[in-house]
Amino acid sequence: MAVWALGINHHTAPLDLRGRFAFAVDQMAPTLHGLRQSLSQGAGRHPSVETAIISTCNRTEIYCAAPMSTPGPALDHTLDWLAASGGVSPALLRSHSYSLENGLVARHAFRVASGLDSMVLGEAQILGQMKDAVRAAEGAGALGTTLNQLFQRSFAVAKEVRTSTDIGAHSISMAAAAVRLAGQLFEDLSQIRVLFVGAGEMIELCATHFAAKNPKQIAIANRTLERGEKLATRFGGEVMRLAELPEHLHEFDAVISCTASSLPIIGLGAVERALKKRRHRPIFMVDLAVPRDIEPEVQQLEDVYLYTVDDLAGVVQTAQANRQAAVAQAEAIIDAGVQNFMHWMELRSPASQSGAVVPLIRQLNSQADEWRALEIARAKKLLAKGEDIDVVLEALSRGLTQKMLHGTMAELRAGDADARAQTAQAVSRLFLRSQSKNGL
Which residues does 369 contact at the CB level (< 8 Å), separation at least 6?
none
CA dihedral 79, 84, 87, 93 (to 10 degrees): 10
The catalytic residue among 57, 64, 206, 258 is 57
Cα separation, 170 vs 325, in Å, equals 12
Which among 231, 233, 266 has a CA at the least distance from the CA of 252? 266
- The radius of gyration of the chain from alpha carbons, rounded to an integer in Å, stands at 29
Count H helices and E strands in the chain, helices first: 18, 10
Strand duo 254-257 + 283-287: pairing: parallel
Is residue 64 annotated as part of the catalytic site, yes or no?
no
Residue 266 carries which DSSP code? Answer: B
Which residues does 437 contact at the CB level (< 8 Å), separation at least 6?
none
Strands of 217-222's sheet in order across? 238-241, 217-222, 193-197, 254-257, 283-287, 304-308
Which among 123, 74, 132, 122 has a CA at the least distance from the CA of 101? 74
| Cβ atoms 97, 17 nearer than 8 A | no
Cα separation, 322 vs 145, in Å, equals 39
Cα separation, 425 vs 405, in Å, equals 15
| Total count of residues recorded for the chain | 440
Cα separation, 404 vs 394, in Å, equals 16
| Cβ atoms 116, 32 nearer than 8 A | no
H-helix or E-strand spanning residue 342: helix 324-348
Which among 91, 86, 78 has a CA at the least distance from the CA of 4? 78
Cα separation, 370 vs 366, in Å, equals 6
Just list the catalytic residues: 57
